[in-house]
């Protein structure tokens, strides 16, 4: 009699979701009580408003909540396409080589065009940039809805440009509007971690929405996803036109160019840009390599159940930011980032060296994302301290150029020439995080004076 061996599919323990949710809840709920002795926060404030001082007007709260609503909507649009991407490509008969080509086309578009979109956004206004973001998603949704076999390259190009706009326009807009309304940096720091928190929650929501729309009939499910993307993009366009103030820059192109010449001579700009590029490179490598790493050696893993664990860990990491900024034992942002980058570097180093146990691997992935959730708002806070608001979009998009170039290079080496192993790519991402830690260490000595003292030269 033959022996039948049942293959088991690895799934995370359901209690992990509950643990992450409870930790996020208590981290948010307990912070006002822990920080009251140092900051004298009003007892009547909501846990989500603990970064808002009592002197802040209710207009800021309305402004913040309107912005976070639209930012969450944009995050759902961003996440919706990535959830069913592989199933969609399989439906069109796209092989691995063509998938690699589409990735290269997307990163190439982000490098050649997306690098300059931030500077254009600073000049024409971030409202127009976010309108373009919604229009790109609308175009891709309509294109895929009406075409039986839409171009994978065209969709990859449009979505990559939309992702480039998403990476700088929302942050730059909220900073500019915050300054126009006369609110302090304490409220802005609170907005930064809330952006990371709601982005992660929205990405989980986009996965739930896509899975519900796909259902059991993939043919109708894909059409439903395209329709949902069109609907969300139209809501975003209407919302921006009706409820968004224009933030057009008054400075001429000549003055803008002169300002950049002064900034490029400042070492703090280079250090912040290098750290941001290293972080984005490591994040991109992770999302490209996490699934192949988990399913190595023919292992069966429920990736759809692990994905929300990673995003939940990033939510939890973002809630740690206000504790470190103004909690009972607050520390300097640069010091916090040095330690965080080092921890993340060692985390990816372990993955690159040995990734045999799935449970340990998922735990390391969660730790990595918790660190990312802490680092993203911390870097945004440092940009507020050292980067002029009128140049913020351009600085972010320029700092992404080295990351996009490095990713494009390694994709071509790995995909077409097979010269680089998966573990090598992860090790390079870890090396980039150590470089970012070094940048933050140097910034501690060079970043004592805010940019307001020198940006009007």
Domain identity same for 262 and 237: no
- Say if residue 257 is in the same domain as residue 232: no
Would you state the pLDDT for residue 369? 96
347 and 294, same structural domain? Answer: yes
Place of tokens 């097979």: 418
Same domain, 404 and 389: yes
pLDDT value at 188 more than 50: yes
In a domain, 69, yes or no: yes
Question: Is there a domain that residue 9 lies in?
Answer: no
Please indicate, yes or no, if residue 2 is contained in any of the structural domains.
no
How many helices and strands (H and E) does the chain possess? 16, 0
Domain housing 432: 251-448
Q: 289: how many CB neighbours lie within 10 A of its CB?
A: 20
What is the rounded average pLDDT for all residues in the chain? 81
DSSP letter (8 states) at residue 8: P
Q: What confidence tens digit (pLDDT) does each residue in 354-370 have?
A: 766 888 899 999 999 99
d(CA 449, CA 443): 11
Last residue in a domain, options 249, 282, 299: 249
Q: Is 418 left (phi over 0), alpha (psi -120 to 50) or beta?
A: left
Task: Determine if the pTM surpasses 0.85.
Answer: yes
CB atoms within 10 A of CB 138: 20
Domain boundary among 216, 249, 282: 249
Q: Is residue 369 part of a domain?
A: yes
Q: Report, as an integer, the average pLDDT of 423-448.
A: 87
Rounded-to-integer distance, Cα 117 and Cα 36, Å = 42
**What SS3 state is found at 293?**
helix
Q: Is 95 left (phi over 0), alpha (psi -120 to 50) or beta?
A: beta
34-76 pLDDT tens trace: 554 344 444 444 444 444 444 456 777 888 888 899 999 999 9
- 268 pLDDT band (50/70/90 cuts)? confident
What is the number of structural domains in the chain? Answer: 2
Assess contact for 243 and 66: CB atoms under 8 A.
Answer: yes
Per DSSP, the residues of 57-91 read: -HHHHHHHHHHHHHHHHHHHHHHHHHHTHHHHHHH
Q: What is the CATH number of the domain that holds 216?
A: 1.20.1250.20
Q: Which of 249, 277, 293 is the last residue of a domain?
A: 249
Residue count of the chain, please give it: 457
pLDDT of residue 415: 66
For residues 358 and 362, give the distance between their C-alpha atoms in angstroms, rounded to a whole number: 6
Please measure the distance between the N-terminal and C-terminal CA atoms of the chain and give it in whole angstroms. Answer: 86
Q: What is the pLDDT of residue 81?
A: 83
Instruction: Tell me, yes or no, whether 125 lies in a domain.
Output: yes
201 within a domain of the structure (yes/no): yes
Query: Which segments within 275-381 are labelled E, that is strand?
Result: none
Q: Are residues 223 and 347 in the same domain?
A: no
């Amino acid at each position: 009699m033959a022996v039948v061996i049942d293959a088991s599919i690895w799934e995370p323990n359901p209690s992990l979701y509950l643990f992450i949710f409870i930790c996020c809840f208590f981290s948010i709920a307990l912070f006002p009580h822990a920080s009251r002795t140092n900051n004298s926060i009003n007892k009547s404030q909501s846990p989500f408003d603990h970064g808002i001082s009592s002197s802040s007007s209710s207009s800021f709260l309305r402004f913040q909540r309107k912005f976070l609503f639209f930012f969450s909507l944009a995050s759902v649009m961003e996440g919706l396409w990535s959830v069913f991407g592989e199933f969609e490509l399989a439906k069109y008969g796209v092989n691995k080589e063509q998938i690699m080509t589409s990735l290269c086309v997307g990163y190439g578009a982000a490098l050649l065009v997306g690098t300059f979109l931030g500077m254009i956004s600073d000049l024409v206004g971030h409202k127009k940039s976010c309108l373009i973001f919604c229009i790109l998603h609308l175009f891709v949704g309509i294109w895929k809805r009406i075409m039986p076999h839409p171009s994978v390259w065209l969709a990859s190009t449009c979505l990559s440009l939309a992702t480039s706009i998403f990476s700088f326009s929302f942050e730059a807009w909220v900073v500019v509007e915050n300054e126009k309304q006369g609110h302090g940096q304490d409220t802005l720091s609170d907005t930064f971690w809330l952006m990371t928190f709601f982005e992660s929650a929205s990405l989980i929501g986009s996965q739930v929405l896509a899975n519900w729309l796909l259902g059991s009939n993939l043919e109708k499910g894909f059409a439903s996803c395209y329709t949902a993307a069109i609907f969300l993009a139209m809501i975003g366009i209407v919302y921006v036109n009706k409820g968004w103030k224009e933030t057009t820059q008054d400075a001429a192109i000549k003055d803008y160019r002169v300002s950049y010449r002064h900034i490029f001579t400042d070492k703090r700009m280079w250090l912040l840009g290098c750290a941001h590029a290293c972080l984005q490179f490591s994040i991109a490598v992770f999302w490209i390599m996490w699934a192949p790493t988990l399913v190595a050696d023919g292992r069966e893993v429920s990736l759809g159940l692990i994905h929300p664990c990673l995003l939940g860990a990033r939510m939890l990491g973002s809630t740690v930011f206000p504790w470190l900024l103004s909690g009972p034992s607050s520390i300097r942002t640069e010091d916090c980032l040095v330690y965080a980058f080092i921890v993340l570097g060692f985390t990816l180093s372990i993955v690159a060296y040995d990734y045999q146990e799935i449970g340990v691997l998922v735990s390391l992935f969660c730790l990595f994302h918790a660190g990312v959730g802490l680092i993203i708002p911390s870097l945004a806070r440092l940009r507020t301290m050292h980067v002029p608001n009128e140049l913020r979009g351009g600085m972010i998009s320029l700092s992404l150029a080295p990351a996009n170039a490095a990713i494009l290079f390694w994709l071509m080496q790995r995909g077409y020439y097979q010269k680089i192993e998966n573990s090598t790519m992860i090790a390079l991402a870890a090396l980039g995080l150590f470089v970012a830690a070094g940048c933050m260490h140097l910034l501690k000595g060079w970043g004592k004076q805010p940019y307001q003292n020198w940006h009007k030269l």
